[in-house]
Chains A and B, each alone.
Chain A
């Protein structure tokens, strides 16, 4: 068998980037509700120049995704981002628990509204946070990757995470039946060339492509200034667990509470980045940088107490029970932001303040963008020999979402692309069938059959 030849092409001669160049290239940062279709690379190309271009793409995507949304989820062209804090475009996207349903049921249509658990009924309108993905892993959305531990704010309350996908990605999942175990099996059986391949953003066809977002929220309390956060009224739901072998026994509960955005992963698959573009943002008050001398860590920080002597970046002791107040996490950022990213952040923060000097969005910062340096040939296609596409930077972590795996230790510290390259489907018989295209979402699929036990 002969496989397609993958050629390493220098960026300079790359038709793909040539095509993106002239018509769309904008030197000045703008506030636009248009999600970029791909990176806009400006020559001469180097690692530094491309990092800058991907960081610009991150900010433009952040702005488009956080644009105020109409009731149908479309961006509201009648307003500017941050004029006042409002429900965002990405908040209208489908949450993981609405896609991967018990017994592998088919998800409701894109526009259908979400069901709330019984415990939340009667509490009024609110964004449901901390629903369970799959029943046995009761606390799954508290726990960070590979059970590295939850994050506790200064009031002793657990931060909450959620995952949403945009409509193209939702359609790819639903139309191919990937929302259930049996659907995944049928998909791979249907044709020996079927592989999981989400659609890529493409400027040539004006397609946005697939996007997924993971957000972390903190419950706002008396010490938080609400006006500093993007906030939503949430139904903070804690699924019950009565089986001590599966974790602490927790009663089911639901509480209507305001929550503030503290971390945001935005991940976008594009023609020039089939390993996806991994952008990560945080609230500016989250944590001090490790390199900042202790005396200069003024704060106040959301996840660091300047007067505490606690050891930094330690996960809370088990058991992890969100129903019980926990010891606040003492977190620092292991890898400082680069000077270029800091400059870009202040450019965009300043721009956001021209709309509204108190714009909540000016309180967020890009940490960095991880992107594949290998030019895909053909576009949207991963290399057979270097499937991770040589990511830059090698490591990237969000202090609220990869809290305990920050740093630069090979094989141990957080690399978005390297870790997500291990994501698999439920059909692990060959690389073709196990490859999940860098998303862990497909592992949430449940079985329609009675063979898999459900409590």
Chain B
């Protein structure tokens, strides 16, 4: 049986289009999935979180492809869904992409709509927007001196997704 953590990693992968082995490596010294799951729970409420994880687990068990799972969560026909679950899912996508949490709705005694915070230094340095841009976060680079003189590695190298492929969902 999958754990909440597995389902959260799978959900995150479906939402962002980034392979699960990249989002949640098996040997992972950073541990963003654990960090994010713990962070997100109280902020979107445990019931919304559990709803999302169950929806993901059910669809994944039925072998629904990840991009269709994302559609099911995020969309209402051709329009973006306005449910709390969809808003929470969008906030989770932004969290992976930017390392920033944007509070999607008011949660009593926890957070107000629009509150925003950088979740951790690791959330920032490992945020995916930089990798999708084939670049590195401002103020943090692992590349070796003079890297700006050479063409960056490919999108696929950075994200596991080839540049021609159209993966992930709109929202």
Interfacial residues, chain A to chain B (CB-CB below 8 A): 1-3, 5-8, 10-12, 45-47, 50, 373-374, 384-388, 390-394, 410-411, 418, 421-422, 424, 428-435
Contact = CB atoms under 8 A, between A and B. Distances in A.
B121 to A, nearest CB: 4
B80 interface: no
Contacts, number: 88
A432 B145 CA distance: 9
Given A388-B142, A411-B140, A422-B145, 13 more contacts: A3-B153, A5-B157, A6-B157, A8-B22, A10-B26, A45-B26, A46-B26, A47-B28, A394-B29, A394-B30, A410-B122, A429-B149, A430-B149
A interface, over-half SS:
loop
A392 B142 CA distance: 15
B144 A384 contact: no
A10 B25 contact: yes
A373 B25 contact: yes
Contacts of A46: 26-27
Contacts of A429: 146, 149
A424 B145 contact: yes
B56 to A, nearest CB: 21
Interface in B114-129: 121-122, 125
Nearest to A425: B145
Interface string B2-29: 0000000000000000000110011111
Contact of B151 (A1, A394, A410): A1
Interface of B: 21-22, 25-30, 121-122, 125, 131, 140, 142-147, 149-151, 153-154, 156-158, 160
A27 B160 CA distance: 37
B154 A5 contact: yes
A431 B145 contact: yes
A3 B154 contact: yes
B157 A385 contact: yes
Contacts of B29: 47, 373, 390-394
Given A10-B26, A394-B29, A431 B153 contact: no
The 3 A-B pairs of least Cβ separation, nearest first, read: A392-B29, A384-B153, A434-B145
